[in-house]
Structure 1
């Protein structure tokens, strides 16, 4: 089960993810990101501190936006990942493509 909460702050948005992202609910993550983009958000923080699992489908959602984000100057930072979830990003080399930070403070420093 995946719970997604989108909180708009001054100048950026935080996407809080809790539970598991898998093939059955990765469309919900995609929809949440689409909604943020439609609101004109150009700085996105993803709080992964309560994310217990992410499948290749979930990773694919983030990957599918990388080129668009780069072209439009949209910043994406994922923070607070549990060690086992972060290892998935590292093993696949996604830590080279997506900025990962240990906590919200460092994530904010990276985008502001």
Structure 2
């Protein structure tokens, strides 16, 4: 798993490349745990190259959701592959988290 960061206009975009499983979820948790991440108004997750997500990967997002909400930071996912989106749907996380088709829609939130 490779995680790339890009910041612009109070928005942090994390691009996930590869498989988000138990071992790589530690890297994601470290990224999302940074105190300065709450200085952004939005944290956007680009899932175009995310090929797989395990329950551990989902758990990382769930564990940070309340912290982001409390700080007024919007968390949104975009460019999600169908097989990854299905995992979110099966677990009902698509109603708990913001998932949009494109980067433009994520930025417009």
TM range (shorter): over 0.9
Residue aligning to 1:38: 36
- Deviation at 1:32? 1.1
Residues 6 and 32, structure 1, Cα contact 8 Å, conserved in 2 = no
Residue aligning to 1:74: 73
Residue aligning to 1:62: 61
Distance of 2:66 and 2:9 partners within structure 1:
25
Residue aligning to 1:84: 83
- Deviation at 1:70? 1.5
C-alpha offsets along residues 61-100 of structure 1, whole Å, 9 cap, x if unaligned?
A: 0000111112111100000000000000011010111100
Residues 18 and 50, structure 1, Cα contact 8 Å, conserved in 2 = yes
Residue aligning to 1:22: 21
Residue 96 of structure 1 aligns to a residue whose secondary structure is: coil
Residue 94 of structure 1 aligns to a residue whose secondary structure is: coil
1:95-106, aligned counterparts within 5 Å?
95-106=94-105
TM-score between the two structures when normalised by the length of structure 1: 0.92
Quote the RMSD (CA, aligned, Å): 1.0
TM-score between the two structures when normalised by the length of structure 2: 0.94
